[in-house]
Amino acid sequence: MSGFWRLWRDQFSQEHVDRFRQIRGFTHFPGCSEIQKILSVCCVFQVHSFTDVCWDKCVDSPGSKLDYRTETCLQNCVERFIDTTLTITNRFTQMVQKGTH
């Protein structure tokens, strides 16, 4: 096992891994301060992040309103981004536990 993964495995007991999974989940925007977490306002900043990414993916040129195709794209974008986050988190914690690369 490479040194990198040994280091991670030693740091991450099962309890650690479960908590890491929770924290890393999409409900906590990385830039959130502790007070923001207490007030449950991290969600708002996550919305800013998603809107930024999904605007680039879904909006070509701004018209007089958002058409149905764009609305659907935005909704799908959010859902798939969250799915991606969960997939990466789960796979990463598996990798850490197995110590494989």
Binding segment toward other proteins, per CB under 8 A, in 4-12, 13-21, 73-81, 93-101: 73-81
- The dihedral formed by the CA atoms of 21, 26, 31 and 33, expressed in degrees to the nearest 10: -70
| Candidate list 39, 85, 94, 100; residue touching other proteins; CB under 8 A | 39
Binding of other proteins by 36 (CB under 8 A): yes
Specify the DSSP element, H or E, that contains 11.
Answer: helix 3-11
Q: Say how far apart CA 33 and CA 28 lie, in whole Å.
A: 10
Cα–Cα dist 13/32, whole Å: 25
Q: Whose Cβ is closer to other proteins: residue 70's or residue 97's?
A: 70
Positions that interact with other proteins (CB under 8 A): 27, 35-36, 39, 41, 43-48, 50-52, 54-56, 58-59, 61-66, 70-71, 74-75, 77-79, 82
